[in-house]
Every structure is written in structure tokens, then in C-alpha cells.
Structure 1
């Protein structure tokens, strides 16, 4: 009976912990003293049970504070991202794509907005409009253990728990003073330094009726730039935004004779620089250089600058590309301070009050290479786009994409270049005039303006106040309220006002009358401080989030059945959220960081939830117990866009679950199964926020592509029909990017997710515990940002949907080319859309796989009686299939690694595993930790099959080790080495992220760690 009661109690605690906070021990008091002692081991979600993972009714992983601290990590994300169930998302290496300095957790790769982060089973303050929690704001000093629940948890935890929840359990009833300090550094390079310390003070009072804990954390991480590691020193993709400036032909090209004449003066053979394909740049001495032609036998010619870190040496001299990665950040710097407190007091035998409070402030920084410009459109005088610059040299109703418009009257035009311009006889229809006198297009990078930096200052304040107690021996209650505020301030440098740049270029004197010396864009030229001040913009943007939660519930016994006592929890919860975003000066024709519009909104959720436990069978052969747990939550929500003054209609949705536990008896496994329906309401980012992005893309219309080779005249015709002016000579410019605008959509409906799990757990007589679980998660009406490469691939028949190669096919309607064959935009063809792509409920995500866990504790006589603790965590992904839009195919990304233009957390190795061993002697603990990541195919192989030959990754194994010396019972010193064998990250191409996935792999290298813990 005690074993049955324990299983029953833990089952309820695990499934109801997030909504009920704590399972009352009095609810089962009538079972007797022995039963009470068993139940009293349970706290919040059962982590005081030796193997709660083996008793839970869905897949769950629990790690304690010793394992969390074994690597001396100063932030939680760097530890959590090593677990097999987690797909590393935004974290310490999220510079580009960035994550605003924040760290998130992403269960199963379904997105960090589809799982919850809880503290002691309760929601905590969010830090983004997608309702995600920044792990940098969690007080690490207070954490006792972490529970990863991955079987779906929508009914128990509410909206957003589609893939599960991460519950961080704080220390309870702590007495004394504890001081911890840790430090880590790269062993050879002496960089990537991290250090931190924490203090913890706790005391009981009133004869143990109350307990109070106060904690303080400080941590600091040294940033790294990519040139500090060989694998990331060179960009793996290319760019045509050069510091030297480049000339874009744009429909009115020069003659081959003029190009041969000019380059012949430099000793270059006629025809070595093809007039129709070459990228022509500017040396500071007035001469010209050719950057070579991608995938063609035309090399760099007449280069007169040093070949330094600013040159992508892996390509040069076959072609020139600016090496933007050398100055980009590899690991983000961080400085963090947290203060937290926890209070419990037993007011009477039946009533307890509790409270928590926390304050966190941290700063971080992201940095990108100097600004490429322009990254906005240049429009004519009749243009209406507020984020575009105006030029009188653009046709009044025309527009030029991502190119400066330079008149031939500019006084800085070099003589050699003027010879080439004078040979023009054509007409660019977007520009005023024709022939030699027509303006021309060029682009550049502001090397003189320094890095684009974003400095983040984040402050989070949150507090909780509540009470719990018992009505009688059978029923208990709890109520609590939570209030929180997050303030995020971002200070940007390096942005350019494109209109002012255009003003200088169009001025008759080159801008000398506007600022000292004017602006000479032809080469790496000096720019006066006055002109820098004129063109650059320092921006400060601010965001505030407010959150309030009120929850109450009652729990207790319902009735006695032939198999035991049925129990029930019923509760009510209100959640309110409000945010406000002020873009400051980050609006208008800004090149650099993406411009944003003011945004703000409110939402509210009113939930009623209940969960019930029913014992079905007890004491039968091969069925010592069979238990059923049912759960249901109904949620009524509404939202308001406070900027656009739009109020959404109220929406009511339901989540539910059923969990079955079948305990066959002693020496036989326990079978567990669960079905969960979760409903995720669209968040503020999806409802209201607009964003602009410029992901890299692959263009099948390039004359060198397999598509062109395989489809002959029909392929040429489709490229012509989709905007390529001269398909016969068109070669995609390396580093090409797609301009895409995504808007919020107030008509979005909630996502619906179904999670099924089936598994078995067993503990053998020798102490070995094992579990194996199958999981399957299906998300319908999924809200997914469009992947532009899928739309491009679909248009050009990579999936067999456009076999006639018709330009009228749906996907082809999204493709737009502006001011040059290879400058491609992605725009909504629907009338009245303004070209922006709204989020839609048109997709699905399906994933399935297996989780395996094993734990074994024993005493090793052959080690002098040392205690050995071993555990193994394994995840196998069978499927990760997505369908983004109705006309696109479903693609399975299992066993693939992310490439350029893909969101964070989208690498899916088929196998991931962690292996931990702890050997404890009298005064010493020796730990060894292994982490396995399977090899993967490049995901471009499944998105554009047979087009190019991307490289994937091999399997990799990381090993960490540490030795802890317990000087006394309360004083210890730990020396460790992370990445013991200095395993470098796997590299692959194409890829824009340092040649690797820096969230998944270790990008720092072998580090030595030192930690000390003192307790009094």
C-alpha cells in the first residue's frame, strides 16, 4: 500500500504541480503514519523522490544542483542546451541571428515560445513579446533541481506548454550561510573567461514555523569575436557590400570595349573582366578592380589593398568578398546581478503563507560588421514608403532596391570609371534619363563608421505572495498572486541615415557644403568627423512588459473506489500581460539594424482547470495497480492592440489530457501512456509586431545552376518571366539576400497540438532503473514564418508542383526583383497587402521519437568500496516534418543541420546522448560527463535536392571531467576541465553562422574550471 500510495501521490504532484503548487499531505492522512511519511517526501513536483522520472506518467528528466553546477556554467542556458531533449536556441552565441542578448530554452525544437519556464511550478516574468522567459533572469543560487517535462503539458500548465515545461525548483528550508564561487578560462588561449559568485543566507524562526532565504548572484562573461578561433575567422558566405564600393550595372551596362580599355591599362588581358557579369570595385588611387565572377573562370583583377582579415582568404584570389565575420561576435559578453528572496511561515496548523521576490539586472552586447548600405529602397519623389529614401534621379513613381543612386555629376567619380560610364547606351527604366548621362547604381559598407553594436540593459522585477492550507484532513487549498515587470533598453550604434547619404552623393560638390570634405564613396576613403556625425544615427529603443497572475485551487479526495481513493483538483487562474515598444529614432530610411514601428498591446486569459485521479485496479495478477488521470482546462482570452486601437474578439479554447499508469507488479515494468491536447494562443509578436529581414537565398536562375542546365529553354523562359533581364548571362551575386517584410495578423487563431506518449519504466532489484518512451507531437494550424528558399524552390519546380514551369504558378507570384537581376524580394501578391507577408495558420509541425533513460548506483569493491552513480540520457528523433504554406510540400528535417537564413534551434541530429558517471571516495568525487551529437545532413539537401552539393557534419563526442575535494562536510573545492580533448565544432557549408551551429556545438574549446563552496 505504501508503494501504491507513493506512486499515486507522485503522479498527482507531477501532473498538478504547476497549477496547484503543492499537494497536501493531509489529503491522504487517513492511510496511516507509514503512508504519511511517504507522502511527506513530495514537494511541488516530486523532486525529493529518488527517481521521480521513473514514476511520472509522461517523459521527464530531473537534474539536481550538483549536476547543474558540475560545468561551472554562469548561465542556465549553457547547461540546459546540452540535454538531449533540448534543441539549443537563443543563448550565449546568438549574435546573428540575434536574440536581443537573451537566453531561451527550446524543447524538441518546436520553438522557445511553445514551452513554459516555471519556478516552483509557477509561471515567472516573461521578457519578450513572444511570451518567452529569459533564463538570464533566473537566480541560479536558489536552484535545487530542474525538471524537464516533455510529454506536453497544456492541460496542467496552460497556454504555451505545447512541447512541455521546464520547472526550476528552489531550495526549501535552507539554514545557514553558503558562499559559492566559480571561474573558467580557455586553457591555452586564456580567453572566454567566465566567473561568478553567489551568496545564500537562510534561517528558520518561530521554532521552525517559518523560513526565510536571501540570495545574491553576480556573474560576468568575457565576449569573443570570431577571429579568435580559426574555424570562424572567415565567413562561409559572401557579400557584395564592399568597403571599397561596387558598381551595379542595373540594366544600362557599359561596353566590353570600354572595360577592356580601362583594365588593359593595368596589364589585364582583354575579356578577362566580362562587362556584363563582373563586379567592379574601386581602389583608393582611382583605379578599378574586378572582384571575379562567382562559379566562372574569372578571377580578381587589379586588387590594390592589403589581403588582411577584411578579405575572405578562403575565396581570394578566385573572387573577392569582404570578410564580415572576422569582427562579428562569437560569444556575447554578459554582466549580471540578481537578488532574490523566499519566505514561508506556518500561521497555524492549517494555514501557511509564502512569498518570493526577485530583482535581476544584466547587460549584454551584440555586434555586427560595419553597416552595409543601403538596406532600404531609394524611391522617386512620388514614393510613399516612409522607410525609403528619396532621390530626384529615380523615376517619380519608381524605386530602386538596396542600391545608392549616383548622378554622373558627382565630382568624386574616378577618371577610369567615367570612361566606363561614358560607354553606356542603354536605359534603366527606373532611373531618369538614358545612356551615358543616366545616373548609376552602387553599394558600399561603412568601414569608417565602425561596428553596428547593440548594447542591452535588461531589468526584471517580480514577486509572488500566496497562502495555502487545509480545510480538513481531506481537502486543501492554495491561492497566490504574481506581479512582474521587465524593462529592456537597447542602445544601437553604426546605423546610417540613408537619406543623408543620398543627399551627399547627389550634391554638386559631393556634399562638401553640407559637411567637411563631403563624401567620396569610391574606395576606402577617409571621412571627416563632421560627415560621420551627419550620416550616422545613434538609436535607443525601449520595451516594457508587465504581467499579473492570480490563481487559486482546491484539492482533495472525492470518493473511495474498490481500487483506492479518487482525488480532484479544481482551480481558476487569471493572467494579464501588457507590453509597450518604443522604437525611438529607429524609423525612416535607416540602413543598419532593421527599422521597427511602435507596438503595444494587452491580453488577458481567464482559465478554469481541473484534474482528477482515478485508481482503476489494485492488487490483481499482473496489475498491482492501474490508474487513470484526467485533466481539462478551458481558457477564455482577449487582446487589444493599444497602438492601432484594435480590440480582438474573445476566444474560448479547451485543453485536455488522459494519462494511464499500469503497474504490473514486482520485478515487472510499469507501462505509462498519455494523450495531451494543448492550445497555444497567438502571442503579441504574432498578432501585432512587424519585422523586416534579409535572409540569404539560392537563386536557381543563375546560369550555372543545375536547374538551368536541366531545363534548357523552358527554364530560361521562366527566369525571364520572373524578372531576370538577361537569363543567358545572369550569374547570382554571391551573398544575395531576400528582402522580406512580415506583419502581425490579428485574425490568427490558436494552434492546436496533440501529444501522445507510450513508455515503460522499471527498477531492477540491483538498483538499475530504466525507462523507454515513444513520443509524437502534432501541431495543426501552426504559425510559422515563411522560409523564402522553399517558396523559391517551389516556383522553380524542385518539388514537382510546377512541372509546366509556369510563371503564373502560385509560388512564383511572391518573387520580385528590383534594380538588378539578382536583388530579389519576397512580397505578398494579394491586392491591398502592400507586399507584406502576414503570419497565417496554414502550416503544421510533426515530430516523433524515443527517449531513453537509465540510472545505476552501486558500491564498487574493486575501488575500495567507492560509491558509483551512473546515468544515461538518450533522445532519438524519428521525424521532424513541417508544412509552412498550403501550396508548399511537407519536408522532414530529421537528421539535418541548419544553414543560412534559418531560425535558431533548427538542427535535428537523429541521436543525442548524455552519459554521466560520479565516483565518490571518502573525501573526493570524480565526475566524467560525455555528450554525443550524431552527424547530420545539410538541410539544403532536402529543400533544394540535387541543386548544389552542401556539406553536412560528422558525429562528435564531448567529454567533461572534474574532481571535487570535500575539505569538510560543508567546504569543498572542485577542479574541472570542460571539453577535455579540445574537440572543435563541426563545420559545414553553406552556412552563415561561423561555419557551424554555435548553439549546438562547443565554440570555445578546452576550458579549465575552478569552483569552491563554503557553508556555515
Structure 2
């Protein structure tokens, strides 16, 4: 927060309004567009509007908690994407961003206010909606023209009365400098301490008056890039992503057709080895046991040996090295905006945003694993690549002629890479002006259209049917492609066989949003305490979404029961998740109004008391009519004290994807079983469920669900993912939230130079969302079914949680977790935001005149964060916990503080990013706090040219690691994974 003069002037009216307050010139006004024009000359200030309201008024102040950051704050991060700064703020829970490789959202940057979910954070640009990039309505802020972003205003709490659907958690309003004048060139280069992760950005901005001052034009062109960084390039993540599916290949014998136990124990020279039927294939033709990693012959390299602890731990493969720690980016932005005043009653304006960028995520080679037709392969006993050791175990089964399961990771095809291309434009055309003859009334009518075209090119996919043909061929597939498919141990495929089984897929996603809105506002009449002001209007909005998957990803092969008892079929592709075509649209007609009622003024302890009322009714094509409202109070007690607060009802209509998404295959994480935690499969004999006080009831429930009596006391689940399905629900209803906020804004009443620049604000917020649209995740399904928190005290197999997943009859493994959308129960969060500013000139306090100092602290305390998955069910308290899912890290304390010194042409600053202590969810494992320190500086070489530098994470603090982390043994959205890094920049303005 690096502009003490601006902050000192504005914090007297509203600490969090800060740089959010803007003014229109006397010849123009834009009552519906927050921050549509910036103050150029204090003598020209007329009416102003703040984010969260449609009313314009002189000296208007924010009644909702609001925090503002600006371009200088962004430059202090040394980043080329704006989400880096946003996620540093305590109000946000970092979600999908530049370090989100798996899970990934194609390189997008999505923001998550209050941790209530990215679809519940409404993103605006100059007070108007931004075209979404996802079927759930989430906006990708990579689309925004970074060089022109002047301020970012964030308000917490429901804002649907002002802006409509989606603003349940609040609003992030990105304000562009459309009044820019002159020519400015900006460049920046950054690199990490390990000489990787290079970032570059270049921008050219031009602007000025036209038509003898009756109009204005601005043009900005920008290019930025970011190099990818692999997990293998950092010590903490080089060994990560444990998986039971290895390039060596393995089998899990059917639980009703296990090999002879005595033979197994003799082979592995282990008289206590359990007969799980899980065996891997060494390159020398021998077998190794997944349980306690018996007889493992390592091919070498950390991919194979990273997790191996022979004789102690179960075998898992290291997928981490080929995953990305930081996603690459190559982005072009262009923005042009202009306005022209025809007369006092009509000013036409228009703007066009264009963004194109490329990104990619990369995963380890495609795995095909599991005990269900949709994931694994069946190998007939006639296959020529069966070795003598494996043949001996096969022949010892009750049915020696039965096929067996093959799990395999296809390293011969290389890693899975999804290359993304986004092509985006959004245009706005409107007219606004005064209603001539009416006292200070203005109108604004505009039409807006946006379109996002996303092209995804996937490589590394494997055709299941082609692999099965090779396995079933009597010659091992040599007649189909040169050399055939030797699946035993590490596999080298000929180019012909790579082409035979490999598949490249291309998906297309197209999203369009159209908005037409008309509004007017002004003074109705004068009351004793001031003008009663009104704003109102009507809006039509339409969202259209279409996802067109590659034909191979949409193909589902019929499930065929083989003569030997096994089955094949299901999804055609192994690798990236398959997908089905999704087409849908929604539209709404919305009416809104707002009143600013001056209640009292010029009384003892009541300089001004205003009531702000808002109401919106929306008629959706999907859920029908819904309404939202707000009632906010603003009380200026004395010059130095202001009290603000209010209540809001907000709504969010279900999106196209939530309503109409077809059933798709997924592989959700459930974690690994442990004796102390509640992750993993509860039926695993190593889990706390099987070892706890209710072990007998857990065992009985596992048997009822399908684990065979012969396998139940030796059952282990060596993977951390299960097969699942996702999908929409056309019967969804809207979400509703009720929020309450109350706060104080204080500016120092003292003239003492030490204290004159001291100001602070503190706000309490409480948000509760009902009928939350979402899914019960696979991990929560398992925990609920097995009574982790009292969800199923009788261990009833008909319990609702138990009905959400099914097990495979042969292996007992979970074969399908149904994560289909529904209106769940309740989501709650509450806490306190505080901001403190203190600035003074050294000369003013009697010290040598060596410049000015500015101190800033933005602090967040999370009082409560709870979720209820089903009506009447228990609330899960997530306060102070971290999980294995993006956007589910909720530290009790989080802060961003800075100190800045300015002296003439020089400036120095330091930032402190603090993430409080956390407990790993479901365990007693405590993770310490994380503290990152950054330095920045600037030097004005001339009146027009300046240099700047940053050093981020000065102490090279490494991320806190835990297992199972989101990815790379940590939560890369919460913790700094790149280490120390540097950037230098140059700005020339003429």
C-alpha cells in the first residue's frame, strides 16, 4: 500500500474506500459504473460512486467493508499476473492459479473471496460484469488488461441487490484508467534464485483528448510471459504424487480368485505377508509385493525409488518430477476505450477488450489402473509375455484360466500435456448524460457482449480398446504393430505401437455473455438532513455455454463380460478425464432500485446519519423469480469516527454447467489411509476406522458393501484416488445468502505530527449461505458413511452417504463415487477485517528531512468457517485447517503488511506476508505459520523515466509440506513454492 498522500486524504471518509472513490467531471456522469472516471482535478469533483452502490453523491462513502489496492501494490509483487496480489490479501483464500497443475483449470487465475467458492465471487471491470470462462460462471482474471488496472476494490458480503447473481461472498471490481493521457512504456523482467521461472512483461499505453476536449481515447497493448517450472526442480517436490500405478506394471488379482497364500509367502520369504493379490513386475521377470515392497528390483531413478522403503512401506510410484510447479504463460492484451460528448444530454462511449494467451499443464504419463472396466485392462492367460514366476501364481488360483487385471502407466508415450489457447474479446457500447431540465438526474444505457473461445490440445492419451486388442492377440500384438505390447516391467514401444495406442485430443469451449442495461439516478427531493437520492434500472443478461469434446474423449465402449469372468469396456481414453458435450444457456430480466435516505445531520454526535436501501427482483429462465435486498447504515459520529454496517440478502442462480453438465468420469482424491487420520478408504486394514473402537461395525459394513470375506482382513487400498462421476442437475434451485457487517472507521483527531497520519478501520462480517450448490466429495462420502463425525452412528449401509459410492464386486475397491450437483445444506463464515495506516514526514517529527514513512497493515481473523453437507447433518468446522483440495485452506490469522520510505527520486519498501498456523484437516498434525518477506525499490532517473526492483521471499523460505498435500507435498496456492526471486522494471512516460 504505497501511496500515503492519497491514503491520508481519503481515509478520513472511509479507510477501505481509499482510492476507490472517483469523480466524474462536470460534463459527464456514469451512475451505474463504479469508478468509471478518475479524479483529474480536485476543483472539478462533482458526484462520486463507490463499489457496491448505484448511487452517486458528493462525498459518498462505502457502507460495506472495502479494501483497495493499486498498480504500485501490484508492481511490488514482481508478478506478471494480478491474482498474485489479490491472493496475498487476507480476504481471499487462494484457489486455482499459476501453480495449479493437478488439479488445474487450464492456466486460469480464479479468485475465491472468503473461501466461499470462486463462482460466488463476482468479478467486475469498471463496475460491469466480465465474460465468464467456465460453465459455473467463474471469471478468469487473466483476461483483464493488467497494464491499465488502476485500482482493485474488494467488498465483502452479499452485493446482489446492486449487481445481481453471483455476489454472495462479495465483489472484486477492477478499475481501469480510461482517463490516461500521454505515452507510457513499461517493461519488467524477473527470475528465481534457481535461474528458472523467468517472467517478462512489456506494455505500451497511449491516451489523450480528441475533438478539442469533447472526447477522450485510450489504447493499451501488453505482452507478458512466464516460464514453466517442474516439481523436479525443487527439493521439496521432487518426490511427490505417490501413485499405485507404475510404469513397471502390476496386477491386483480378483478377490474371489486369489493365488495360494502359502505359495505367496514362500515366494517372498515372508511368513506374515497378507494375501492382497497386489503384485508388481520387475524387469528381470520376477514379481514384487506391493505390501511392504518385498523383492522390489529398482530400475533406478527417483521416479521408482523416491518412496521405496523395502520391507517396511507399501510400494508407490513417484509421479511428481514430471508435474509442473509453475505453469507457463504467454499472453497478449489489448484494450481501447473512448468517449465523445455530443451535448450535455448525450455522451457516447465504447470500449473493446481483447486477450489471447497460451498455457499448459503437464502430468505424469497416462495411468490405467483399478479393478473396474472403466480403468484397468484384462490380460488373458494365453498372453505370451506372462513370465514363469507370474504363471506359477496364476496356476495356483481356484480358476487358473481366469484373466487378471493389468495396471500400467504408459511412459512410452511421454507425459500427459494439455496445451490451452484462450481467445477472448468483450465490447461495450453506450450512451449516458444528464436528463436536461431535471435536477441532477442522469441516465446510462449500454449493451455489452463478450466471448471466450478455449481450445485444449491433449497429448499422451491412450486408447483402451487398442491396448486391449494388443493384450488379447495370441502373438502379444506383434501382428498389429511392430514388436507388440510387452507389458511386463518397463515397456519400450515401437513407433508403430505408440501410434497404434496413442491418441491426441482437441476440445473446444465457447462461452458468450450478453448484457443490456438501462438506468437512471438523481435526487427525488430534499429532506432536512439532505437529498433523498434514487437509482434504478432494468437489465437483461444471457449466458450461453458450449463444450465440444474430442470424439475420442466422449466415446464410451460397451462393457463386455468375458468368458473368463472379467469384463472390458467403458471409457475409451486413459489419460485425461473423458468428457461429454455440454450445451446450455440461461437468461434473466432484472429490475433494481436503490435509495439513499439522509436520516439526521448536524446534531451532537450525529454529523450525518444515512440509510442506504436496495432491492432487486430477477426473473430467470431456469429458477424463476428471485429477489435480493440490502439495508446499510452510515453514521458519521464526529470528524474522526464513522460507524457503518448493514444486512444483505444475496442470491445466486445455478449456472449452465451446474444445471446441464452431462455425466463425466473423474478421479477424485481420497488420500491415504493412516492409523491417526480419517483420509483414505475406511475399509483399509491400516486405517483408523479399522483400528478404532468401532472396528467390528466398520468391518461388517465393508463386508455388506462387497468386500469378500476372504479379503476383508487383508484389504489395503494403495492408491489415493478413486474412480468417480460428475454431472449437473436440472432440478437445482438458487442459493441464498444472508450477511451482516458492522465496523468503525477512525482517523486521527490529533494535530501532533507523530499521530496526525494515523488511521484505522475494523469490520466484523458474518455470511451464511443456504441451499449451497455443490457436491459431496468422495472423501466426505467415505467419512460420512463410516461415521467419522456422527453422520452414520448405526453404520447403516442404506445411509445417504453410503449410497453415493459403490464398490467393485471382484476387488472390493471403490468403483464409482458419484459427485453430482445438488442443493446441499449450509455454508457459514465470519470474522474480522482490520486495516491500520500510519504515515508521517521525518522532518515533521523533528528528524532530518530524509523523506516520508508509511506503514500499512491489513489483517484478517477468521472466527468461524463451517459447512453442512446435508440438512440436519452435522456442521464440519474448518477454521484453522488445511486440506488436500485447492481453496480449502482457512488460517485463523492472515495478514499483509508493508513499510515504505520515499525521499525525492528514491523509494524503498518492505512487505511481510503472514499465513497463520494450521491443522491438517482430519488429523492432529499441526503446521506452523509461514512468513515471507519481500523488498522493493524505485529510482526516478528523470522526470519521465523510472526504475524499480523487487526481491520476493528474501529469506528463501520453503513451503510447509504435509501429506497428502494438494500437490507437490504442499498447498502451492497458499505457500510460496518458487523460493527467492528477483525482478527489475522500467517505466518511461511522456
Q: 1:895-933, CA deviations, whole angstroms, 9 ceiling, x for partnerless residues?
A: 00112xx3x211000011011111101110111111110
Q: What CA deviation, in whole Å up to 9, does each residue of 1:208-257 have, x standing for no partner?
A: 2211111111011000110110111111x532211111121212111133
Q: Which residue of 1 aligns with 2:549?
A: 583
Does 2:981 match 1:1007?
A: yes
Secondary structure of the 1:606 match is strand
For residue 621 of structure 1, the aligned residue among 582, 594, 604 is: 604
Secondary structure at the counterpart of residue 714 of structure 1: helix
**Change beyond 3 A, Cα 1:409–1:204:** same
More off after superposition, 951-960 vs 444-453: 951-960
Contact 1:743 1:837 in 2 (8 A): yes
Q: Distance in 2 between matches of 1:414 and 1:866?
A: 79
Please point out which of 408, 417, 420 is paired with 1:444. Answer: 408
CA shift at 1:205, angstroms? 2.1
Partner of 1:923: 905
Inter-CA distance 281–863: structure 2 relative to 1 (3 Å threshold):
farther
Alignment match of 1:325 (pick from 311, 315, 320): 320
Change (3 A) 1:507 1:56: same
Q: Secondary structure at the match of 2:702?
A: helix
- CA-to-aligned-CA distance 1:538-583 (integer Å, 9 cap, x gap): 1000011111111111110011111111000011111111121111
- Work out whether residues 82 and 931 of structure 1, in 8 Å CA contact, stay in contact via their aligned partners in 2: yes
| Displacement after TM superposition at 1:260 (Å) | 4.5
For 1:813, the equivalent position in structure 2 comes to 803
* Structure 1 residue 609, shift from structure 2 partner: 0.7
The match for 2:66 among 60, 63, 83 is: 60
What CA distance in whole angstroms lies between the structure 2 residues aligned with 1:24 and 1:133? 20
CA distance in 2, matches of 1:751, 1:41: 32
Q: 1:533 to 1:838 in 2, by over 3 A?
A: same
Question: Structure 1 residues 792, 545: CA separation in 2 closer, same or farther (over 3 Å shift)?
Answer: same
**1:381 corresponding residue in structure 2:** none
Q: Which residue of 1 aligns with 2:112?
A: 106
Q: Map of 1:437-476 to 2, 5 A cutoff? A: 437-472=401-436, 473-476=439-442
Unaligned regions of 5+ residues in structure 1, if any?
A: 26-33, 379-387, 389-401, 426-434, 639-647, 828-835, 942-948
2:950 paired residue number: 976
Q: Is the 8 A contact 2:771 2:824 kept in 1?
A: yes
* CA displacement at 1:528 relative to structure 2: 1.3
- For the pair 1:637 / 2:627, whether they are aligned, the reply is no
Q: Deviations over 1:739-793 (max 9, x none)?
A: 2212211111100011110111111131211111000001001112112222212
Q: Secondary structure at the match of 1:281?
A: strand
Sort the Cα spacing of 1:464 and 1:719 in 2 relative to 1 into closer, same or farther, 3 A: same
1 CA distance for matches of 2:315 and 2:370? 21
Write the distance in 1 (CA, Å) between the matches of 2:434 and 2:803. Answer: 64
Q: Is the CA contact 2:519–2:538 (under 8 Å) kept in the aligned structure 1? A: yes
The counterpart of 1:839, out of the listed 821, 832, 842, is 821
Q: CA contact under 8 A between 1:139 and 1:217: conserved in structure 2?
A: yes
Residue 719 (structure 1) aligns with? 702
Q: 1:939 and 2:929 equivalent?
A: no
Asked if the contact 1:344–1:353 (Cα under 8 Å) also holds between the matched residues in 2, the reply is yes
**CA separation in 2, counterparts of 1:289 and 1:816?**
29
> Deviation of residue 863 (structure 1)?
5.3
DSSP 3-state at the match of 2:935 = strand
Distance (Å, rounded) in 2 between the aligned partners of 1:881 and 1:284? 50
SS of residue matched to 1:664: strand
Residues 307 and 289 (structure 1 numbering): CA distance in 2 closer, same or farther, change over 3 Å? farther
Question: Matched residues in 1 for 2:912 and 2:339: separation?
Answer: 39
Q: Which residue of 2 aligns with 1:190?
A: 195
Q: Deviations over 1:620-654 (max 9, x none)?
A: 1111111000001111111xxxxxxxxx5x60111
**Cα shift at 1:119:** 1.0
SS of the residue 1:104 aligns to? coil
**CA offsets, 1:648-707, max 9 Å, x none?**
5x601111100001111124x211111111110000110011333222321222223332
The 3 A distance-change label for structure 1 pair 615 and 231 is: same
Name the structure 2 match of 1:685: 657
Cα distance in 2 between the residues matched to 1:478 and 1:351? 9
1:224 touches 1:331 (CA, 8 Å); kept in 2?
yes
Does structure 2 conserve the Cα–Cα contact (< 8 Å) formed by 1:855 and 1:869?
yes
**CA, structure 1 residues 405+22, in 2 after alignment: closer, same or farther (shift >3 Å)?**
closer
Equivalent position of 1:340 in the other structure: 335
Partner of 1:997: 971
2:580 aligned residue: 597
Are 2:855 and 1:891 equivalent residues in the alignment? no
Aligned 8 A contact 2:736 2:769 in 1: yes
**Structure 2 CA distance for aligned equivalents of residues 45 and 792 of structure 1:** 41
Cα distance in 1 between the residues matched to 2:315 and 2:349: 64
Aligned counterparts of 1:927 and 1:13: Cα–Cα separation in 2: 25
Q: Is the contact between residue 516 and residue 531 of structure 1 (CA under 8 Å) also seen in structure 2?
A: yes
May I ask how many residue pairs the two structures share in their alignment?
A: 930
Corresponding residue for 1:246? 250
Report if aligned partners of 1:795, 1:809 keep a CA contact under 8 Å in 2.
Answer: yes
Tell me how far 1:814 sits from its aligned partner. Answer: 3.0
- Counterpart of 2:33 (choices 4, 21, 24) is 21
Q: CA RMSD in A?
A: 2.8
Correspondence for 1:734 among 697, 718, 728: 718
* 8 Å CA contact retained: 1:542, 1:581: yes
Partner of 1:676: 648
CA distance in 2 between counterparts of 1:755 and 1:316 reads 55
Distance 2:637 2:895 in 1: 29
Residue 201 of structure 1 corresponds to 206
The alpha carbon displacement at 1:275 in A equals 5.8
Q: Could you say what secondary structure the match of 1:356 adopts? A: strand
Query: C-alpha displacement at 1:45, in angstroms?
Result: 8.0
**TM, length-normalised to structure 1:** 0.88
Task: Give the aligned partner of residue 430 of structure 1.
Answer: none
1:82 maps to what in 2?
88
Show the counterpart of 1:39.
Answer: 46
Q: Match for residue 727 of structure 2?
A: 743
Match for residue 487 of structure 2? 521
Matches within 5 A, 1:865-876: 865-876=850-861
Contact 1:490–1:540, Cα closer than 8 Å, also in 2: yes
Q: Offset at 1:7?
A: 8.3
CA distance in 1, matches of 2:576, 2:765: 40
- CA shift, 1:713, in A, is 3.5
How far off its partner does 1:841 sit? 1.2
Secondary structure of 1:806's counterpart equals coil
After TM superposition, list the pairs within 5 Å mapping 1:113-132 onto structure 2: 113-132=119-138
Q: Which residue of 2 aligns with 1:309?
A: 303
**Shift in Å, 1:590:** 1.1
2:491 aligned with 1:509, yes or no?
Answer: no
Determine the C-alpha separation between the residues in 2 that align with 1:150 and 1:10: 12
Residue 210 of structure 1 aligns with which residue? 215
Q: Secondary structure at the match of 1:499?
A: helix
Choose which of 727, 744, 758 in structure 2 pairs with 1:760.
744
- Equivalent-residue separation in structure 2 for 1:732 and 1:24 (angstroms): 60
Structure-1 separation of matches of 2:278 and 2:848: 69
What aligned pairs does 1:61-460 form with structure 2 within 5 A after superposition?
61-187=67-193, 189-235=194-240, 238-250=242-254, 251-260=256-265, 263=267, 269-271=269-271, 274=273, 276-277=275-276, 279-291=278-290, 293=291, 298-313=292-307, 315=309, 318=312, 319-374=314-369, 377-378=372-373, 388=374, 402-425=375-398, 435-460=399-424
Deviates more, 1:584-593 or 1:218-227: 584-593
Change (3 A) 1:574 1:42: closer
Residues 915 and 992 of structure 1: is their aligned pair in 2 closer, same or farther, counting only changes over 3 Å? closer
Q: How do residues 818-829 of structure 1 correspond to structure 2 at under 5 angstroms? A: 818-826=808-816
Match of 1:490 among 456, 462, 473: 456
Equivalent in 651, 654, 669 of residue 696 of structure 1: 669
Is the 1:376–1:590 contact (alpha carbons within 8 Å) kept by the matching residues of 2?
Answer: no
Is contact 1:84-1:875 (8 Å) kept? Answer: yes
* C-alpha distance in structure 2 between counterparts of 1:280 and 1:339, whole Å: 56
| Residues 777, 819 of structure 2: 8 Å contact kept | no
* Equivalent position SS for 2:480: coil
Tell me the distance in 1 between the aligned counterparts of 2:689 and 2:14: 60
Does residue 788 of structure 1 match 2:772? no
